[in-house]
Chains A and B, each alone.
Chain A
Amino acid sequence: MPIRIVESVEERGQKDARRHREKQREAIKKHLPEIISEQSIITGNRGKKIKIVIRSLDIPHFRRKTKDDQDAIGIGQGKGAPGDVIGSRKIPGQGKGPQAGKEAGSEYIETEVDLEELIDLMFEDAGLPKLDPKSVREIMVRLGFKISGRSKAGPWPLIAPGPTAKEGYKRFWNFLAALEKETKLDQLICFSALKQANGLIKDALDLLKDPNFKPQFDKVVPFPIIYHEDLRFLKIKDKERPESRAVVIAMMDVSGSMDEEKKYFARLMLFWLVEFLRRIYLRVEIRFIVHHAEASLVDEHTFFHTQESGGTVSSTAYQLARELVEQEYPTSSWNAYLFHFSDGEDFNPQDAVAEIIKCFQRGINMFGYGQINPEGQELFSSKNTLMQAFARAFPVENVERGGLRMIVGRGNVPFLGVQITKKKHLLPALEQFLIKERWSNG
């Protein structure tokens, strides 16, 4: 037969198209620091889409140079004389908006990416775990968060499925009994209505008002009906707190040469930290402080985009942070996490030490000092006056995790000093920062 219908064979196109998109993601990953640098990811709107310009993936091949590599020409067909405009198109990525690094010899396409997807990519890129409920709970166990007791409110990752379901079944039986009593019908038909109404008792009643309504089930199979007040959450065993809330105070030395890459590390660490805390506390706030010889409170965008020249006096930032804790985030009702990013030099390390001790006395959960040096200096090189001062002033031990060298406060000293030179240092640093035993057993 010359014409026949052919059954669909293997769908290779889908699979290879996925590989292409995967390669595009790799290309985006390479330029994450630039792409993300314009976004306020910590405090901004997470649902938005971002326009980025990425390289169209092509196979390099010998090809002709177009005229001056600028005004390309072509042949077309239609009405018109020299000088007539036959069309136009917008140049993708011109003007505002991030460009994912122009590489020579590439064509570019503009594409829209969900901020969420970029964030996933960032985490993947830096080897930071995704923060789905399962991994959040794993991390909490690993880091020694003690979970005990129940409460009727809490963050989603901490929902307790068993107790919640138990409440749901209780409600099911209550509703069924109420329906029977109200309608005087038998249990099976009431069950059918409740099931069909997806547990909504008012809808079930409406169904039962219909004389033609017939039971579709031959036996009662209970299912949990969960209302908001049936939810049960696990509670983190913490200092007794009326509310479960936390504040992160981020500090950044803007005097030095914190370039795009260093800032990217800081941004990733802070972002992941805040996201993690958001999963375990009902309320999380973040405040930003920049400093050189003076400190000031700023918003997220300013935090990552300020550059000033001048001396570096970190104690000014620490003092401002402490005042914030005292006035707005008393540690009797807030968990306070302080983190300072710098490239290491300080004019007056002794004042910095003194201020940190004051913060300890206020009962903060943790003080982190992150020295960001992608060039990979020695931990205690002569430039790094702060790290040296901290190591001398506080009882610390040297710890190494995954190639990352840290100084970690002994006993109940809530201090962590890390030098971050590589992306893969971010996770061990964050974990060390969050280890619970250290600062809650004291």
Chain B
Amino acid sequence: MDKPLTQAELDRLIALEKRIGEIAKEEGLNTVPIDFKIVSANQVIEGMAYRFPVNFSHWSFGRDYDRTRTIYEHEYAGIPYEQVWNFDRPEAFLVETNPFILQVLVVAHVYGHVDFFLSNRYSQIGRMFSDVALQARNAVGRFRSYEQVYGIDVERMMDAALSLEWNQHPEILLDDLDEESQRESLIKSLRFKLRKADGKLSPKEVEEIEKQIQVVSVKTPPEPTYDLLGYIAHHSPKPLKPWAQDVLMVIRDQARALLPNMRTKILNEGWATYWHVRIMRRLFQEGLITAKEHGSFNDFNARVTRESKASLNPYRLGLSLFEDVEDRWNKGRFGPEYENCKDPRKRLNWDTKVNLGRQKIFEVRSCFTDRMAIEALFSDDFIHQENLYIYEEKRFDKEVIYIIVEDDPEIIRQLLKHSHVFYGTPVISVEDGNYDDNGYLYLKHHNTGYELDAAYRDRTLEMIYYLWGRRIYLETTLNDRALLISYDANRNKVIDYAYKK
């Protein structure tokens, strides 16, 4: 089981990969040539920890590597680790020591992912950053040379950049204009507003707009930006040296490329799982894999799609969702008539035989994010059927007990939705990069239903201060009270006082 593939096995795998590609096409999946690389378990674990096949050095990647490796070595040896990247030419890793049938499973699974990458609206955005892998590869040498010159400062710069990496614009592509073009287009639209009004505005309104134009022509940023790293890299009054800007921008760009995947985790894994199950079944029907191999596949598949008591397993949940949606749309269990039907017997036997299932799941894979799927497709029945619940970690003297506290579908749906808004990262914008005319940085936290964890907030502000070098303000709320926090390194602590707008 731990032996690398023999030549005969490799030849067979190559043949099966070819057939899997054909089946994928026959089933209507989009494909492009995929680079499958057979590598050591270690390399896959590295790939997972470093996010890209090759990436720069950082202790946090080392920590994740260590963690995964420990689990791999001590607990789940032989688990079907799979790693696939949404590159122009997608790249996937196969673990050399995995059993043969697991290699076939992973190939089939990867074909599912690749279709998702090519077809899902949000993953397509990720593909626009497909040169990010090359950038990551190139950053390795550059960062190393910075480290030779600037030593530990480079690590500190990376620490600070990584602490803000996920604070990006909710619509990634919207925020990539440079500041001056942004300013110009803003001024243009304000002037257009004036011209178009054609004397219909009151003098006061005109004055208001003219004042706005004046503000916009000098203010930085001209309008609030969510791209924290991008803004800080180019506007820090410290100022940041070119190497530091480079570090910040590489980390920012990597996060932008990875974010779309985070928004479609359940759907993407669910889709790939849905397809590997079907492709493996066809391989078996076609006699390309033996009954014994198919049985062994079923065992692995059961492990992959196991329920997880204290977290959500996206393979499981995503697979069930696609199967549920397919079934519902096949039987016409959607629309007001079905929704409003309260008769349980009627509902149970509801089948209009419209057979729209296939069409519907392809639509979901093309147009939905996880959040949209939760909102539109996590029906009460589905939540019941999947045995979802909310649990609470009750702290006692010496242990934490996990207790189920809620199984109301509506509450579960709300909680799920909340955790999928803006990738689960609090929304922070740069409001002013020259606050008080002193070069202070004024940030604003937009409350999306959750307040900030105070301790983490303060440690993050410390990081921002390291990048900015002058006082940082953060407008936020604490226990529903408006608050303006200032971080000033002279006192080296966070001072907060009631904030009056």
* Interfacial residues, chain A to chain B (CB-CB below 8 A): 1-6, 8-9, 11-23, 57-66, 69-91, 94-95, 104-106
Contact of A61 with B399 at beta-carbon distance under 8 Å, contacts A76-B311, A87-B310 already known: no
A20 touches B59 (CB 8 A): yes
Which of B33-41, B80-88, B127-135, B331-339 lies on the face that meets chain A? B33-41
Contact of A71 with B312 at beta-carbon distance under 8 Å, contacts A13-B61, A63-B452, A82-B405 already known: no
Q: Does B387 contact A (CB under 8 A)?
A: yes
B450 touches A86 (CB 8 A): no
Contact of A59 with B39 at beta-carbon distance under 8 Å, contacts A80-B389, A82-B406, A83-B403 already known: no
Contact of A61 with B310 at beta-carbon distance under 8 Å, contacts A6-B39, A71-B393 already known: no
Cβ contacts under 8 Å, B38 to chain A: 3-6
Contact of A75 with B453 at beta-carbon distance under 8 Å, contacts A89-B399, A90-B398 already known: no
A6 touches B389 (CB 8 A): no
A70 touches B395 (CB 8 A): yes
Residues of B contacting A: mostly: mixed
Contact of A104 among B62, B316, B458 (CB under 8 A): B458
- Within the complex, what minimum Cβ distance (angstroms) separates B38 from chain A? 4
Cα–Cα, bound, A14→B61 (Å)? 10
Query: Taking CB as reference atom, which chain B residue is nearest A24?
Result: B63
B49 touches A13 (CB 8 A): yes
Contact of A88 among B94, B401, B428 (CB under 8 A): B401
B62 touches A64 (CB 8 A): no
B456 touches A105 (CB 8 A): yes
Contact of A9 among B54, B58, B59, B162 (CB under 8 A): B54
Q: Does B167 contact A (CB under 8 A)?
A: yes
Please, could you name 23 A-B residue pairs with CB atoms under 8 Å apart, sorted by A? A2-B18, A3-B37, A3-B94, A5-B39, A6-B37, A9-B43, A11-B46, A13-B45, A13-B65, A13-B66, A17-B62, A17-B63, A20-B60, A57-B60, A63-B452, A70-B395, A74-B310, A75-B416, A76-B308, A76-B309, A77-B317, A78-B389, A90-B399
Query: Taking CB as reference atom, which chain A residue is nearest B94?
Result: A3
A88 touches B400 (CB 8 A): yes
Cα–Cα, bound, A91→B395 (Å)? 8
* Interfacial residues, chain B to chain A (CB-CB below 8 A): 4-5, 10, 13-14, 17-18, 33-40, 42-43, 45-46, 49-50, 54, 57-63, 65-66, 69, 94, 96, 107, 159, 162-167, 307-313, 316-317, 386-395, 397-407, 412, 415-416, 424-426, 428, 445, 450-460, 462-463
- Within the complex, what minimum Cβ distance (angstroms) separates A107 from chain B? 10
Cα–Cα, bound, A100→B49 (Å)? 28
A16 touches B61 (CB 8 A): yes
- Within the complex, what minimum Cβ distance (angstroms) separates A109 from chain B? 10
Contact of B426 among A19, A64, A70 (CB under 8 A): A64
Cα–Cα, bound, A317→B394 (Å)? 52
- Within the complex, what minimum Cβ distance (angstroms) separates B148 from chain A? 15
- Within the complex, what minimum Cβ distance (angstroms) separates A377 from chain B? 26
Cα–Cα, bound, A302→B424 (Å)? 52
Cβ contacts under 8 Å, B391 to chain A: 73-76, 86
A65 touches B402 (CB 8 A): no
Query: Taking CB as reference atom, which chain B residue is nearest A57?
Result: B63
Cβ contacts under 8 Å, A17 to chain B: 62-63, 65-66, 69
Cβ contacts under 8 Å, A75 to chain B: 311-312, 388-391, 412, 415-416
B402 touches A88 (CB 8 A): yes
Cα–Cα, bound, A299→B42 (Å)? 50
Cα–Cα, bound, A16→B35 (Å)? 27
A94 touches B46 (CB 8 A): no
Cα–Cα, bound, A64→B426 (Å)? 7
- Within the complex, what minimum Cβ distance (angstroms) separates B484 from chain A? 16
Cβ contacts under 8 Å, B43 to chain A: 6, 8-9
Given contact pairs A2-B18, A104-B454, enumerate 9 new A-B contacts (beta carbons under 8 Å): A2-B35, A11-B46, A14-B65, A16-B62, A20-B66, A75-B391, A83-B403, A87-B309, A87-B402
Query: Taking CB as reference atom, which chain B residue is nearest A8?
Result: B40
A65 touches B65 (CB 8 A): no
A105 touches B458 (CB 8 A): yes
Query: Taking CB as reference atom, which chain B residue is nearest A11?
Result: B42
- Within the complex, what minimum Cβ distance (angstroms) separates B129 from chain A? 21
- Within the complex, what minimum Cβ distance (angstroms) separates B13 from chain A? 6
Cα–Cα, bound, A83→B50 (Å)? 40
Cβ contacts under 8 Å, A76 to chain B: 308-312, 388-391, 402, 404
Contact of B39 among A8, A16, A83, A104 (CB under 8 A): A8
Cβ contacts under 8 Å, A80 to chain B: 387, 389, 404
Cβ contacts under 8 Å, B416 to chain A: 75
Cα–Cα, bound, A211→B459 (Å)? 77
A63 touches B453 (CB 8 A): yes
Contact of A12 among B17, B34, B50 (CB under 8 A): B50
A71 touches B453 (CB 8 A): no
Cβ contacts under 8 Å, A62 to chain B: 167, 425-426, 428, 445, 452, 456-457, 460
Contact of B463 among A60, A84, A86, A89 (CB under 8 A): A60
Cα–Cα, bound, A77→B412 (Å)? 11
B62 touches A74 (CB 8 A): no
- Within the complex, what minimum Cβ distance (angstroms) separates B52 from chain A? 11
B33 touches A77 (CB 8 A): no
Cβ contacts under 8 Å, A64 to chain B: 424, 426, 450-453
- The 8 A-B pairs at the shortest CB distance, nearest first, are namely A105-B455, A16-B62, A60-B459, A13-B65, A17-B62, A104-B455, A64-B450, A17-B66
Cα–Cα, bound, A79→B407 (Å)? 11
Interface centre among B307, B311, B407, B455 (most CB of A within 10 A): B455
Cβ contacts under 8 Å, B50 to chain A: 12-13
Cβ contacts under 8 Å, A15 to chain B: 57, 62
- Within the complex, what minimum Cβ distance (angstroms) separates B258 from chain A? 15
Cβ contacts under 8 Å, A85 to chain B: 401-404
Cα–Cα, bound, A369→B61 (Å)? 49
B390 touches A4 (CB 8 A): no
Cβ contacts under 8 Å, B412 to chain A: 75
Contact of A65 with B451 at beta-carbon distance under 8 Å, contacts A20-B59, A75-B390 already known: yes
Cβ contacts under 8 Å, B405 to chain A: 73, 82
A3 touches B451 (CB 8 A): no
B415 touches A61 (CB 8 A): no
Contact of A84 with B404 at beta-carbon distance under 8 Å, contacts A59-B159, A60-B456, A94-B397 already known: yes
Cβ contacts under 8 Å, A77 to chain B: 307-309, 312-313, 316-317, 386-389
Cβ contacts under 8 Å, B62 to chain A: 12-20
- Within the complex, what minimum Cβ distance (angstroms) separates A404 from chain B? 29
Contact of A61 among B40, B451, B460 (CB under 8 A): B460
Cα–Cα, bound, A76→B383 (Å)? 11
Interface centre among A13, A22, A83 (most CB of B within 10 A): A13
Cα–Cα, bound, A61→B428 (Å)? 11
Cα–Cα, bound, A104→B457 (Å)? 11
Query: Taking CB as reference atom, which chain A residue is nearest B401?
Result: A88
Query: Taking CB as reference atom, which chain A residue is nearest B425?
Result: A62
B394 touches A71 (CB 8 A): yes
Contact of A13 with B42 at beta-carbon distance under 8 Å, contacts A63-B452, A74-B390, A78-B309 already known: yes
Cβ contacts under 8 Å, B407 to chain A: 81-82
Cα–Cα, bound, A3→B37 (Å)? 6
Cα–Cα, bound, A13→B397 (Å)? 38
B392 touches A2 (CB 8 A): no
Contact of B392 among A22, A73, A94 (CB under 8 A): A73
Cα–Cα, bound, A407→B458 (Å)? 47
Cβ contacts under 8 Å, B395 to chain A: 70-71, 91
- Within the complex, what minimum Cβ distance (angstroms) separates B231 from chain A? 15
